[in-house]
Structure 1
Amino acid sequence: MTEILVQDVAGGDIATGARVIDHPAWPELKNAVEELRGWQSADGSIDFTADRAPSHAAVEATVDRIVTAVERLSPLLPHDTAYHRALVADLRKWADSAFAVPDFLDSLLAFQPAAERIDGLQHLVLFPMYTQNGNPDRNFEAVVLRMVWPEWLAELERTRYDNPLFCGITFEDFTAGYDTNSAVLFPETIAVRQAPERFTWGGIFCDREAARFRRVTEEAVRVLGLELPADIQDMIGDQERCEQAFVLWDMVHDRTHSHGDLPFDPFMIKQRQPFWMYGLEELRCDLTAFKEAVKLDAEGNRHGRDVQYAVLFDRMFRFPVTGDRVRNYDGLGGQLLFAYLHKHDVVRWTDNTLQIDWDRAPQVTNQLCAEIEKLYRDGIDRPKLVHWFAAYDLVSTYLAPHPGSRWAKGPDALDLTQPPRKLVDDVLPDEFPLSMFYEALAKKLKNVIASTKGITAETADRTAA
């Protein structure tokens, strides 16, 4: 990367090619943000009437420290100048509001990382926000990240998988809300006075995904006695190769939410639906990425085979046994994939050893994708409730419902005079419990999954706790 010398606000020359986290202002910013987080309520405001509440002067001093640090670091990142100016203005407005519920819409609109996707480009991001699978409160988070946009990926996006909003990213450093299981940076998580008319970017940390995948897969392979093809064994040992697989998987997955024979709101964010509908949508997007990876592999693209096994192993080994069992739609998708492959004799659990028919795995996985795509296509002509039941039938063909389920008993067991959204109340929190296989696997993988909290590329090869 070419280094361009610019003048630091605090004095002295700095280089725009230097790592942000190596500048002395970064730990100052990080420490100030951590201090501020401890004073915030769940909505991001500061309650000065609470026990042990800080004084206005103390909060103002901390915000001043944050502003100073941002202004010192911003010259390292000339592409983020407009955003950092808006950020400082939003911090000042928040202080003028006596630290009420924060509104960072102006700085959110100024932050446009997808407009300049350059491999290795750094960004310093600071927002009041919740972190998915991390902190549910809208506390301030500071993150330094890098864009992952190699030329081969850019070419695929230009010619095949158009996704102008997608940003593959990796961590440099972060505050406490990202020392969690969160692997995304999404604009909809940020505290604003009103949602923008449209979101213009979305970021996924492929380094965390790859590191987590490697650690959990290595342990699952060991526990299950699975013999891997040599090239896949090599992939699991290679952090950079796994990152490349995940960034391609993520790009195709993300665009699939708006491609295909879909209902008007494919991810069902704006309407209340049974959680298996979310599970099928996420699995459809993953299996579409798998299907495209099979095509790329056949064309000689070296990332195609890696994506296939990243999807299979992450979905089968990590997803079903990660998180709690309450409406765990990602876990459900993983259970469904394993059960489908098992019933079609692609995976076998025999003599306490897992065996996979590597030759048939692509064909049968694509077959499940086709079944879900047919469900969606047929659903266009169905009423909502009929579509929900058809989806339930698909899932329950391969996964046993809870014996106490009303939905499993069919329409006659439900009060159909109620609107469909009310019938969601009759869905059990764990409508499709884990099989005996997964109950046992969950116990064996519990510690290694816990060890991936906050994992990054730098910690990927450390021994699991």
Structure 2
Amino acid sequence: MSGTDAAQRRTDAAYPLKTDAAYRLQDDMLDEAARLGRTLVPRVDAFRARQRDDGTVPDPKDADRRGLAVLKDEAADWFAAHGRSAQADALAADVDDWLAAGLDTPPHFARSRDALTAPADGDWAAFLAPVQTTNSVPPVGRRLEFFLVRRKEPDALPELAVHYPHPKNNCQATVLLAGSEGLREGNCIVFFPENVAAHDKVTEQKYAIFFFNKFRRIHEQFALPSAQAVLTPDSVPQDSAGLDPGVCYQARSVWGYLHDYFHHQGRWPLDRHVKLKMNWFIGLLEELKVDARTALACHTDALVPYAGEQIAMILLERMFRYPLDAHAVRNFDAGTGVFLFSWLRGHGALVADGAGLLRLDQERMIDALRELVDTIEGMEAAVQTPAEYRSAARELVRTLLRPGAEGDRYAFTDDQQTLLRARERLAALPPLHFAPAEL
């Protein structure tokens, strides 16, 4: 790929690879993170173990109420002592209201959700509330969680943003310094305001925090082996394999920026149509479109750094890791991967090799991604109303994802089952555990 090669040469020159030691985080909050790991975090873990998936505590005891009250006071004091008085007040009010309503009622932490502000690059943020930790270690639900993060945007961002100026950059690339069990273990790398347990709906996404230091090990333990079970050895993308931890963080953070940048382009930009984009069919196509546009930018634009790494990450994560989910037929991200698999199959980018494996043709893949973007954007340009958009998106998705059983979004075809070859083996692996600030 000439575009990718050119971009990679430029990346190597402008952002030379650093050693592991050079990337080890020197952070004045690390000692505080370690202290929280001995004090506040164990209290959070103990309380979340008592909760159901909806956040309620079954048959709450006096010990549960006392434990939450103590936890509230400790956390509120910590927030206030570190200059986050608004969060301290919001947390105290949310906990007091929940205690008054009864812990066997669903929690409502809208005040805490809204009191959090996105940290500036280099600054830290912390949060405590019942949160849905997507892709964490089961049981996954709206359980009490805590995190402390340091925002660390990629070194290439200032120059990249000149050529790809984001109109509303509400995404934050961060390093997880300390976290409760739902964040410290498993594959959850995202935190959105809509993840917080609350009775009302989020109408504007004021922050989107990504724990990108967790990505490398997740990618190497799940995405790469899954691809190796499906693709011929010589066609498995290798650009994202065996990366220096800091380089992987940089590349993943650039992907995150471009992904969100493309969300805000085109006929129906995300910032003006948040509720509409939450439609399952529209959202599935939206995610595929912005990742395809990111991959195409990497392929054609020599100004984009870590081009090869990003293309490999996008392909391996979306097509080979996401469908491994135990409830893939109900999982939004898994659906994008299954759709992409069949799209590439239909466009000659994934062909049978004769040994039970598929061969990935990367040039045809690029052509297929370009046609995918054109198809989705053509559909978006043709519709005039939200109702037309929902109907057209459903029709397009159903060309490759057949209807499933009641409660399921789709059903795997025999060909799509190919993606699940490594599911059982990978699901049997112990969950990943992340030390504070690990890159």
Q: Is this a same-fold pair by TM over 0.5?
A: yes
Name the residue aligned to 2:424.
446
* Rounded Cα–Cα distance in structure 2 between residues aligned with 1:61 and 1:341: 53
Residues 127 and 190, structure 1, Cα contact 8 Å, conserved in 2: yes
1:316 to 319, 341, 347: 319
* Structure 1, unaligned runs of 5 or more: 1-14, 406-425
* Rounded Cα–Cα distance in structure 2 between residues aligned with 1:383 and 1:102: 33
Name the residue aligned to 2:382.
378
User: C-alpha displacement at 1:29, in angstroms?
Assistant: 0.7
Name the residue aligned to 2:347.
344
The residue type equivalent to 1:54 in the other structure is: K
Residues 208 and 455, structure 1, Cα contact 8 Å, conserved in 2: no
- Could you report, residue by residue, the CA deviation over 1:292-336 in whole angstroms, capped at 9, with x for unpaired residues? 32344x33x332222112112222222233332434443332223
Give the SS at the match of 1:173: strand
* Rounded Cα–Cα distance in structure 2 between residues aligned with 1:20 and 1:172: 9
2:61 to 36, 41, 54: 54
The residue type equivalent to 2:253 in the other structure is: V
The residue type equivalent to 2:410 in the other structure is: E
Give the SS at the match of 1:172: strand
Larger relative contact order (Cα-Cα within 8 Å, sequence gap ≥ 6): 2
2:129 to 108, 121, 127: 127
Percent of aligned positions that are identical: 21
CA RMSD of aligned residues (A): 3.8
Name the residue aligned to 2:117.
112
Name the residue aligned to 2:226.
220
User: C-alpha displacement at 1:41, in angstroms?
Assistant: 5.2
What are the equivalent positions in structure 2 for 1:220-299 lying under 5 Å apart? 220-223=226-229, 224-227=231-234, 233=238, 235-238=240-243, 239-262=245-268, 269=275, 275-296=280-301, 298-299=302-303
* Rounded Cα–Cα distance in structure 1 between residues aligned with 2:154 and 2:87: 24
- Could you report, residue by residue, the CA deviation over 1:325-374 in whole angstroms, capped at 9, with x for unpaired residues? 43444333222322222333222221224322233432331221111111
The residue type equivalent to 1:209 in the other structure is: F
* Rounded Cα–Cα distance in structure 2 between residues aligned with 1:372 and 1:154: 30
* Rounded Cα–Cα distance in structure 1 between residues aligned with 2:146 and 2:44: 7
* Rounded Cα–Cα distance in structure 2 between residues aligned with 1:33 and 1:103: 17
Name the residue aligned to 2:32.
20
What are the equivalent positions in structure 2 for 1:140-219 lying under 5 Å apart? 140-157=144-161, 160-162=164-166, 163-178=168-183, 179-192=185-198, 194-195=200-201, 198-219=204-225
* Rounded Cα–Cα distance in structure 2 between residues aligned with 1:428 and 1:104: 29
Q: Which has the larger radius of gyration?
A: 1
The residue type equivalent to 2:256 in the other structure is: D
Question: Do the aligned partners of residues 123 and 430 (structure 1) sit closer, same or farther apart at CA in structure 2, a change above 3 Å counting?
Answer: closer
Question: Do the aligned partners of residues 244 and 110 (structure 1) sit closer, same or farther apart at CA in structure 2, a change above 3 Å counting?
Answer: same
User: C-alpha displacement at 1:451, in angstroms?
Assistant: 3.4
* Rounded Cα–Cα distance in structure 2 between residues aligned with 1:124 and 1:321: 31
- The TM-score with structure 2 as length reference comes to 0.77
Name the residue aligned to 1:408.
none
* Rounded Cα–Cα distance in structure 1 between residues aligned with 2:398 and 2:360: 23
Question: Do the aligned partners of residues 288 and 161 (structure 1) sit closer, same or farther apart at CA in structure 2, a change above 3 Å counting?
Answer: farther
Number of residue-to-residue matches in the alignment: 405
- Could you report, residue by residue, the CA deviation over 1:119-170 in whole angstroms, capped at 9, with x for unpaired residues? xx43332112222344654321112223231332244346524143111123
Question: Do the aligned partners of residues 37 and 202 (structure 1) sit closer, same or farther apart at CA in structure 2, a change above 3 Å counting?
Answer: same
* Rounded Cα–Cα distance in structure 1 between residues aligned with 2:394 and 2:380: 13
- Could you report, residue by residue, the CA deviation over 1:155-191 in whole angstroms, capped at 9, with x for unpaired residues? 4346524143111123233223333443211112223
The residue type equivalent to 1:128 in the other structure is: P
Residues 44 and 71, structure 2, Cα contact 8 Å, conserved in 1: no
The residue type equivalent to 1:306 in the other structure is: E
1:306 aligns with 2:285: no
Residues 40 and 139, structure 1, Cα contact 8 Å, conserved in 2: yes
The residue type equivalent to 2:429 in the other structure is: S
The residue type equivalent to 1:211 in the other structure is: R
Residues 75 and 88, structure 2, Cα contact 8 Å, conserved in 1: no
1:33 aligns with 2:44: yes
The residue type equivalent to 1:226 in the other structure is: P
The residue type equivalent to 1:448 in the other structure is: L
* Rounded Cα–Cα distance in structure 1 between residues aligned with 2:324 and 2:203: 37
Give the SS at the match of 2:267: coil
Name the residue aligned to 1:429.
408
* Structure 2, unaligned runs of 5 or more: 1-26
Question: Do the aligned partners of residues 187 and 371 (structure 1) sit closer, same or farther apart at CA in structure 2, a change above 3 Å counting?
Answer: same
* Rounded Cα–Cα distance in structure 1 between residues aligned with 2:274 and 2:112: 28
